[in-house]
Copies of this chain bind each other. A is one copy, B any other.
Amino acid sequence: MSYQNLEKHFRRISHFEELGAIVSWDEAVNMPPQAGPGRADSLASLTRLVHDLSCDPEVGEWVQAAQEEDNLNDWQRANVGEISKRYTRATALPADLVEATAQACSLSEQAWRRYRAESDFESFAPFLKTVVERKRTCAQALAETLELSPYDALMDNFESGMTTAIVDRALAPLREFLPSYIDEVIERQKSEVVVHPQGPFLVPQQQELAQRMMVASGLDMERARIDVSHHPFCGGVPSDVRITTHYSEDQFLPGLMGVLHESGHGKYEQGLPEAYRGQPVGTALGMTVHEGQSLLQEMQVSRGRDFITFLASQLGSCFPEQVLRQPEAYEVENLVRLQTRVKRGFIRIDADEVTYPAHILVRYDLERDLVSGKLDVMDLPEAWDQKMQQYLGLSTRGNDRDGCLQDVHWPIGAFGYFPMYTLGAMVAAQLYSVAQDSLSDLPAQVRAGDLSKLNAWLKQRVWSKGRSLSFDELMRQASGEALNPAFFVRHLRARYG
């Protein structure tokens, strides 16, 4: 009976969370310029409602009683465990702080959309400062309850049980390996002849290609749509996935890769266990596994020669004039070289998979210092510039738009998220390696633009598990061993030499 009460209560909470997901998507995609403050107020009230419902003392009582019910199945027991963790986390923070933080983040996100366009860090800084202060207060309160460091308490929100120790251990081989390896690869690629496809690529043409590639990826478009926003993301809910991308008429590959990346996220959401929809155990395990799915689609599959063979077969009908004008640019081998080109650049989301982890090291180092208070927001542009010089040999001085203003994460208060990207790349390499061993026809299927067997494999081993397993158990059951960064290094070696 207590368990039934929990299910009913959390189904109701999920309804409000789902409405919030649609409205947040709308804010990034549709909202007219002057509607921001009113929207921030409304979303803050929703966040507070969800927080209040999650903190309801009855939840604590029901959890205790449900833990003694002996007729629950494994999923239901796991659900009680998830609810218990969530209740503990929610009750650690006073409601006023939660609401004030949500409002600061919403206003800061709106300010970021404006000031990033103008590369105006100074005007944006007060918004970010408020966000950092509020998140720091949250992190400290959470840390005491969860007996973690403040930064680990923030990471724990994105992937349960993730700690600085785990991240440092996973990143260690890259810190060793990467700087000289980037040099090597760039040196090796110097002799390659790469032909860059010449635009313009009209947005409707790119939309047509995006639509075909989403269908090929196996995203169910009866439960998804695609739109345009400043920063690509995957929002919405499992039955209504909202993918966004950003098109440039000069190049079609970056926008397309955004679409494929977000399609990976969307497939995970669509593959979550239907029977536990709306229950905490039925949601995605965490951001590392989520990035694992998007990077498996984007990096492992879509930049491989097999998928590029399929992609090349579609380009003639999407960009007929461009292909006629410059056929050599659209040949498979040239596209492979384009899609595996390694280059030092300012923008994380445009980075190749070799330099990407260096961008993460910049952010990981800086955000730990922002959260601890060791780094002041006003000093961020300079600190960013130094770290970029250290890891990538590039200076962002006087170019904050392409420096510390480039990402939406800090403006929305998502500290502790960045390391998940690189751990996700490791998950992707590990899962895809094992999938290739299990599915003998996979290369031929990928060349035909048919990922259905791969998707079925992933759905069975990852997506349909929701949160019924811990990260470690999931990786062991799905791939035969715990997260092992060697798969990622091996993948880079195989692709880049």
* Residues of chain A at the chain B interface (Cβ within 8 Å): 12, 15-16, 18-20, 22-23, 26, 30-35, 37-39, 41-46, 49, 220-225, 237-240, 277
Contact = CB atoms under 8 A, between A and B. Distances in A.
Contacts of A30: 225
A473 to B, nearest CB: 29
A45 B16 contact: yes
B222 A31 contact: no
Given A22-B26, A23-B19, A41-B15, A32 B225 contact: yes
Max chain B Cβ within 10 angstroms of own Cβ: one of A31, A33, A42, A240:
A42
Contact of A240 (B39, B43, B223): B39
Contacts of A35: 223, 237, 239-240
A240 B19 contact: no
Contacts of A37: 239
Contacts of A18: 38, 42
A15 B222 contact: no
Given A32-B223, A34-B223, 10 more contacts: A16-B42, A16-B46, A19-B20, A19-B42, A23-B23, A33-B222, A34-B220, A35-B223, A35-B240, A38-B237
A32 B237 contact: no
B222 A38 contact: no
B222 A34 contact: yes
A18 B22 CA distance: 13
A224 B39 CA distance: 13
A18 B32 CA distance: 15
Given A15-B46, A18-B38, A240 B23 contact: no
Nearest to A29: B30
Nearest to A238: B38
Contacts of A33: 222
A77 B32 CA distance: 34
A45 B239 CA distance: 17
Contacts of A225: 30, 32
Nearest to A35: B240
A224 B32 contact: yes
Contacts of A22: 22-23, 26
A239 to B, nearest CB: 4
Nearest to A16: B45
Contacts of A16: 42, 45-46, 49
The 3 closest A-B pairs by CB, nearest first: A35-B240, A15-B45, A15-B42
Contacts of A20: 19
27 contacts: A12-B45, A15-B41, A15-B45, A15-B46, A16-B42, A16-B45, A16-B49, A18-B38, A19-B19, A19-B20, A19-B46, A22-B22, A22-B23, A22-B26, A30-B225, A32-B221, A33-B222, A34-B222, A34-B223, A34-B239, A35-B239, A35-B240, A38-B237, A38-B238, A38-B240, A38-B277, A49-B49
A363 B30 CA distance: 35
Contacts of A237: 35, 38
A15 B239 CA distance: 25
Nearest to A223: B34
Contacts of A32: 221-225, 240
Given A19-B23, A23-B19, A41-B15, A240 B31 contact: yes
Nearest to A30: B225
A32 B18 CA distance: 15
Contacts of A240: 31-32, 35, 38-39
A289 B45 CA distance: 30
A220 B33 CA distance: 11
A15 B18 CA distance: 16
Contacts of A222: 32-34
Contacts of A23: 19, 22-23
